[in-house]
Amino acid sequence: MPRGTLRTGADLNNRYNERRRTMDFAPTTLIKNLKESQLGSIVTIGGWLRTRRDSKGGFSFLEINDGSQFKGIQVVADQELGNYDELTKTYTGASLKVEGELVPSPGQGQPFEIKATSVEILGNTDQSYVLQKGRVSLEKLREVAHLRGRTNVIGATMRVRNQLSKATHDFFTGNDFLYLHTPIITSSDCEGAGQMFQVSTLDLENPPKNDLGGIDYSQDFFGRKTHLSVSGQLNAEAYACGMGRIYTFGPTFRAENSNTSRHLAEFWMVEPEAAFFTLNENTQLAAAYLRYCFKHLLDTCQDDIDFFNLRVDKGLRARLEGLVDAEYKCITYTEAVDLLLKAGKKFEFPVLWGSDLQSEHERYLCEEVFNGPVTVIDYPKEIKAFYMKLNDDGKTVRAMDVLCPHIGEIIGGAEREDRLDVLESRMAQHDLDPADYAWFLDLRRYGSVPHAGFGLGFERLVQFCTGMGNIRDVIPFPRTPKNASF
RNA sequence: UCCUGCGUAGCUCAAUGGUAGAGUAGGUGACUGUUAAUCACUUGGUUGUUGGUUCGAGUCCAACCGCAGGAGCCA
């Protein structure tokens, strides 16, 4: 670049991208980045031993995986190596750093392999290491959550999780939604829904008392009672009503004593909120987001999806592919009730307009009627939150749930009530104190706009995209009742 | 929280109320460009905990602990 030339943003960007791509300071090459074009050259990889097959011909096959992709790499270690004897005493799980030539593989099962010039044993394992070659149940793996990332199934799950996270940010930022960080500690009794974890620095053994004999929270850290957030929605609404389109993506906490395969005490939630969106655009936003996620996964996680399709859920790939282009069915709650009544099927719980859809009802709708996700809108106001916009019929609200086969509700959302007087009367019906929601009401008092949004349970999306049956296996370290290990 | 089921070798699982078994991993040996390698031999157990019934309990009963599936709540 000649002296005196102004460096443009594009120049800086190109230079930055070059550097980012090369990562030339890294001590090892990731297995996923080993390419045919490197045949004949010396490469260095690091990873964990999956199996070792010794040959009395004087060499061993080491199958090494580094987590960067589903498939590992086969390393051929010859007895000429100085530490060969030591190598034949390494076990599954041993950490190795291998330098050698990338060569075409004469054997079946892999296009190339590494002919080692050195194998450094960084750490061996012994018989007490749980992850031996044989099958280990998912239940057992939960007991060793700190090690389970070394397995095929959890590794694949976390790679899918990572790509779904990337797809989430790509989709929303790519559509001009601003990524907003909402607080984790909150004082609003958010929605009155769900038990909350209390946050306090008071001495639990001997808390300060007020005049009425209750605990004096004015002496607590925040000078009031506080909790971990059960949703960033109210805060999200505030910024949407000023910055237009925003989304949050972060941890959320529910202290419900739920012991099921689809509930966690700590989970991640994606919550977009958009000004001027009505329920109609909200449902389309949800469908567009899901479609984007499925397409992105099929493009970026082929081997992992193939694994799930083969070992976990036979129809997974076809289902995801089908959903990339499919129209997403949308029906009203009233239509859903009619479908259930006409089903001619005996349900354990009766179908009754006005009561919430039971799990068996939701499953019937998406597994037997629509054979895929289905969006249900316009629920009776009595069974939904106070902030959802009242329809003109005075009986239903502009709520939407996206129901998925096997998992149930993956998305819950609504167009928000933007009329101050209606919102106040709805809060009164729910016995909520307006003083607690003063700032939330301000959004309607000053420059109110129609707006809508939804919350997506990120782990449930990962479940849906992997076929994994238990939500505890799609988050690295699950938090559930009676379990906060690791 | 409720209902149902389960808890046996490092792991995956057997075992009519009557001597605790297999596969796999580990060990030893054989064999081999192998790939869930193969073959032979072999180490390994306070049957979740506590109490009860019985001549005798892994097995039957009770309580507790833990886990799973389903339900409720929800995302």
Q: For nucleotide B75, give the residue with the nearest CA to its C1'.
A: A457
Q: Would you list the domain boundaries of chain A?
A: 24-129, 152-194+230-473
Residues 110-149 of A with CB under 7 A from strand B: 110, 113, 115, 127-128, 130, 132-137, 139-140, 142
Edge-to-edge strand ranges of the sheet holding A396-404: A178-179, A245-253, A266-275, A451-457, A408-415, A396-404, A374-380, A329-332
Report CA(A54)–C1'(B29) in Å, whole number: 14
Determine the pLDDT at residue A5: 56
Contact A70, A156 (CB under 8 A): yes
In this complex, the nucleotide whose C1' atom is nearest to the CA atom of residue A267 is B75
Q: The domain A152-194+230-473 belongs to what CATH superfamily?
A: Bira Bifunctional Protein; Domain 2 (3.30.930.10)
Instruction: For this complex, say whether ipTM is above 0.90.
Output: no
Asked whether residue A55's C-beta has any atom of DNA/RNA strand B within 7 A, the reply is: yes
Instruction: Kindly state the tokens that stand for A340.
Output: 């259930």
DSSP per residue over A129-195, as a string? -S--SS---HHHHHHTTTTGGGSHHHHHHHHHHHHHHHHHHHHHHHTT-EE----SEE-S-GGG-S-
CB atoms within 10 A of CB A414: 24
Asked whether residue A350's C-beta has any atom of DNA/RNA strand B within 7 A, the reply is: no
Q: Report CA Rg, chain A.
A: 27
Taking the C-alpha atoms of residue A96 and residue A119, their distance in angstroms, rounded to an integer, is 7
Determine the pLDDT at residue A58: 83
Contact A83, A38 (CB under 8 A): no
Max intra-chain CA distance, chain A: 85
In this complex, the nucleotide whose C1' atom is nearest to the CA atom of residue A457 is B75
Burial of A472 (0-12, 13-18, 19+ CB in 10 A): buried
Single out the residue of A346, A423, A409 nearest to residue A381, CA to CA.
A423
Q: How many CA atoms lie within 13 A of A391 on its CB side?
A: 18
Phi (first) and psi of residue A138, to 5 degrees: -60, -35
Q: What is the topology classification, in CATH, of domain A24-129?
A: OB fold (Dihydrolipoamide Acetyltransferase, E2P) (2.40.50)
Asked whether residue A482's C-beta has any atom of DNA/RNA strand B within 7 A, the reply is: yes
Asked whether residue A224's C-beta has any atom of DNA/RNA strand B within 7 A, the reply is: no
Q: Which residues of chain A have pLDDT under 50?
A: 1-2
Residues 232-271 of A with CB under 7 A from strand B: 254, 256-265, 267, 269
Determine the pLDDT at residue A191: 52
Asked whether residue A173's C-beta has any atom of DNA/RNA strand B within 7 A, the reply is: no
Q: For nucleotide B33, give the residue with the nearest CA to its C1'.
A: A107
Residues 420-479 of A with CB under 7 A from strand B: 455-457, 459-460, 469-472
Report CA(A300)–C1'(B42) in Å, whole number: 47
Taking the C-alpha atoms of residue A134 and residue A368, their distance in angstroms, rounded to an integer, is 37
3-state secondary structure of A43: strand
Report CA(A130)–C1'(B27) in Å, whole number: 18
In this complex, the nucleotide whose C1' atom is nearest to the CA atom of residue A483 is B66
Residues 1-30 of A with CB under 7 A from strand B: none
Report CA(A302)–C1'(B58) in Å, whole number: 46
Q: Which residue has the tokens 């859903």?
A: A336
Residues 279-338 of A with CB under 7 A from strand B: none
List, in sequence order, every residue forming a beta bridge with A329; answer none if it has no partner.
A374
Asked whether residue A358's C-beta has any atom of DNA/RNA strand B within 7 A, the reply is: yes
Determine the pLDDT at residue A8: 60
The 3-class secondary structure across A323-343, one letter per residue, is HHHCCCEEEEHHHHHHHHHHC
Report CA(A241)–C1'(B1) in Å, whole number: 39
Helix (H) or strand (E) holding A49: strand A42-55
Asked whether residue A231's C-beta has any atom of DNA/RNA strand B within 7 A, the reply is: yes
Task: State which nucleotides on strand B lie below 7 Å from a protein beta carbon.
Answer: 1-2, 10-13, 23-27, 31-37, 66-75
Report CA(A59)–C1'(B30) in Å, whole number: 17
Q: What is the pLDDT of residues A129-153, one digit of tens each?
A: 888 877 789 999 998 999 999 999 9
